[in-house]
């Protein structure tokens, strides 16, 4: 009753539409009827275009629909979508008349459940582990007495207050440089990446601590993003990851040089204890005197053992053994040099034979001659110019041939 004029749904069978008219009516109906829908499905063929827009399909066991999410709207998605992830999207149906296609124009997206986030976490963990980002050989050592510690976290969060409190108590000499970052929600991952980059560019930071307080898997998700993991791995400065509480683990924890259970624990690891340093300095004179006495006693015993040893009592035997070993080495060395010289001589002789075989004069001596024009050898009759002077070079002389 869809008609050109009243826009009802279906035709009575008598009216004839053009393709454009029919598509327009379908577009009006679908976009009005499905202006605000919520759909659950599995992502496939996900593509983040260079323009910033997202293009993907949403599917279930028996059907598939195309989707688009424009730049600006997708910046509010706190996780990175990937193929196979189940999501819940909200949006509206739109029709693209030139191709007669319909799609969902997505306004928001979230995981279908915490299980989907956990699956994405495990998938990325396996990928980065296979690439070697978690390997111990890449872990950098932390400085024992840092001058400046860079911190990437929310400047108004409890984590930063804990960091300042522990630092003042343990090692007030260190300077804290804060790179404020979002640690939750849309744009948080990029904000953390920017903070790590900024601290690496400063040139005087000895150590970086990234982190935040505890929360749900969704709250901590920024520290599970691939861009954060790769930026930690690229950092020239050692990084301590201090995300959440003791039971929380993130991808950042696995990539970082050291993982701390909490931001407070991170500063316990990052800074020396001022009280222990002062105690050491107070006890140093006594301890150093005792240590020197122990060292002198150990050296004395070592000398006595050497003096009483067989090697010290019979040094000539020791020297003879070493001299014999040296003679053997010299003989082997000379033997290898002689073999090398013989091989080089053989190669030179072979090269000499090849050079002699290629000697032009030797060929000319056998009765052959060279034809030259403009001081260039004429290798073929087709290259010879009858109208120009030529030279014939024999072994004993050259003759010039002129056109008559």
Measured distance CA(260)–CA(404) in Å, rounded: 100
What average pLDDT does this structure show over 221-246? 91
Q: Are residues 172 and 92 in the same domain?
A: no
Spatial separation of the C-alpha atoms in residues 153 and 174, rounded to whole Å: 18
Q: Which of 339, 355, 371 is the last residue of a domain?
A: 355
The overall average pLDDT reported for the chain is 85
Highest mean pLDDT among 13-22, 253-262, 395-404: 253-262
70: CATH: 2.40.50.140
**Nearest alpha-carbon partner for 171 in 152, 148, 155, 188:** 148
How much is the pLDDT for 265? 92
215 with 247, same domain? Answer: yes
Q: Which of 77-81, 125-129, 271-275 has the highest mean pLDDT?
A: 125-129
Average pLDDT value for residue range 240-253 = 84
pLDDT at 99 > cutoff 90? no
Does residue 133 sit in helix, strand or coil?
coil
More confident residue, 270 or 100: 270
The answer to whether position 237 is within a domain reads yes
> SS3 for 227?
helix
- 289 with 324, same domain: the answer is no
Same domain, 266 and 391: no
**Domain presence at residue 223:** yes
Considering its fold, how many domains does the chain have in total? 5
Task: Clarify whether residues 348 and 286 are in a common domain.
Answer: no
256 domain residue, yes or no:
yes
Same domain? 263 vs 282: no
Q: From 215, 222, 162, 166, select the one nearest 196 (Cα to Cα).
A: 222
Token output for 2: 């869809």
Domain membership of residue 389 (yes or no) is yes
| CA–CA gap between residue 101 and residue 44 (Å, rounded) | 18
Q: Quick one: tokens of 25?
A: 């009516």
pLDDT in tens, 343-387: 888 888 888 878 777 777 777 777 788 888 888 888 887 878 877
Answer yes or no: is 380 within a domain. Answer: yes
Q: How buried is residue 183: exposed, middle or buried, by Cβ count under 10 Å (0-12/13-18/19+)? A: buried
Q: CB 309: neighbour CB atoms within 10 A? A: 10
* pTM score over 0.75: no
Q: What is the pLDDT of residues 213-231, one digit of tens each?
A: 888 888 888 999 999 999 9
Q: Is residue 297 domain-resident? A: yes
345 and 370 in a single domain? The answer is no
pLDDT for 237 beyond 60: yes
pLDDT for 11: 54
- Top-confidence residue, 56 or 365: 56
Tokens of 173: 């000499």
Whether the predicted pLDDT of 129 surpasses 70: yes
Q: Does residue 178 fall inside a structural domain?
A: yes
Same domain, 333 and 386: no
pLDDT of residue 223: 94
| Helices and strands counted in the chain (H then E) | 11, 14
Percent of the chain residues past pLDDT 70, beyond the cut: 88
Could you tell me if 267 and 255 lie in one domain?
A: yes
Whether the per-residue pLDDT at 321 is higher than 80: the answer is no
Q: What is the CATH number of the domain that holds 255?
A: 3.40.50.10550
Do 163 and 216 reside in the same domain of the chain? yes
Point out the domain boundary residue: 224, 256, 272.
272
Residue 372 exposure: Cα atoms within 13 Å on the Cβ side: 12
Give the Cα separation of 269 and 241 in Å (integer).
Answer: 11
Q: What are phi and psi of 388, to 5 degrees?
A: -115, 155
Say which residue, 32 or 285, is predicted with more confidence: 32
Q: How confident is the model at residue 2 (pLDDT cuts 50, 70, 90)?
A: very low
- Domain that residue 49 falls in: 34-112
Q: What is the pLDDT of residue 178?
A: 95
**Does residue 27 form part of some domain?**
no
pLDDT for res 15:
80
pLDDT attached to residue 6: 47
Convert the pLDDT of each residue in 105-121 to its tens digit.
999 888 887 788 888 88
Burial class (CB in 10 A: 0-12, 13-18, 19+), 334: exposed
Query: Are 166 and 225 found together in one domain?
Result: yes
Strands 101-111, 64-69: parallel, antiparallel or unpaired by DSSP?
Answer: parallel
Which pLDDT does position 396 carry in this prediction?
85
- pLDDT over 90 for what percent of the chain? 36
**Looking at the structure, do residues 238 and 160 belong to the same domain, yes or no?**
yes
């Amino acid at each position: 009753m869809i008609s050109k004029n009243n826009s009802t749904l279906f035709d009575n069978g008598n009216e004839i539409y053009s393709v454009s008219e029919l598509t327009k009516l379908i577009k009006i109906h679908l976009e009005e009827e499905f202006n605000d829908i919520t759909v659950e499905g599995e992502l496939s063929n996900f593509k983040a275009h260079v323009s910033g827009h997202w293009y993907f399909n949403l599917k279930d066991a028996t059907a598939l629909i195309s989707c688009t999410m424009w730049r600006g709207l997708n910046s509010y998605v706190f996780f990175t979508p990937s193929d196979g992830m189940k999501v819940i999207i909200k949006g509206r149906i739109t029709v693209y008349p030139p191709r007669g296609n319909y799609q969902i124009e997505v306004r928001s997206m979230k995981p279908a459940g915490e299980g989907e986030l956990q699956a994405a976490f495990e998938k990325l963990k396996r990928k980065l582990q296979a690439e070697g980002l978690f390997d111990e050989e890449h872990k950098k050592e932390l400085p024992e007495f840092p001058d400046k510690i860079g911190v990437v976290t929310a400047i108004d969060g409890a984590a930063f207050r804990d960091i300042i409190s522990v630092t003042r108590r343990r090692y007030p000499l260190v300077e804290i440089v804060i790179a404020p970052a979002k640690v939750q929600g849309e744009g948080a991952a990029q904000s953390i990446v920017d903070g790590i980059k900024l601290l690496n560019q400063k040139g005087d930071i000895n150590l970086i601590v990234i982190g935040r307080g505890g929360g749900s898997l969704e709250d901590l998700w920024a520290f599970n993003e691939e861009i954060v993991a790769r930026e930690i791995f690229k950092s020239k400065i050692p990084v301590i990851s201090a995300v959440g509480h003791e039971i929380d683990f993130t991808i950042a924890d696995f990539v970082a040089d050291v993982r701390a259970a909490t931001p407070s624990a991170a500063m316990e690891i990052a800074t020396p204890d001022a009280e222990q340093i002062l105690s050491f300095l107070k006890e140093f004179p006594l301890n150093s005197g005792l240590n020197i006495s122990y060292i002198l006693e150990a050296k004395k015993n070592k000398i006595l053992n050497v003096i009483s040893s067989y090697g010290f009592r019979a040094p000539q035997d020791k020297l003879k053994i070493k001299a014999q070993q040296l003679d053997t080495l010299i003989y082997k060395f000379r033997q290898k040099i002689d073999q090398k010289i013989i091989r080089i001589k053989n190669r030179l002789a072979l090269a000499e034979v090849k050079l002699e075989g290629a000697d032009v004069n030797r060929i000319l001596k056998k009765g052959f001659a060279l034809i030259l024009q403009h001081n260039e050898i004429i290798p073929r009759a087709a290259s010879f110019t009858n109208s120009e002077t030529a030279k014939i070079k024999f072994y004993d002389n050259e003759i010039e041939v002129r056109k008559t």
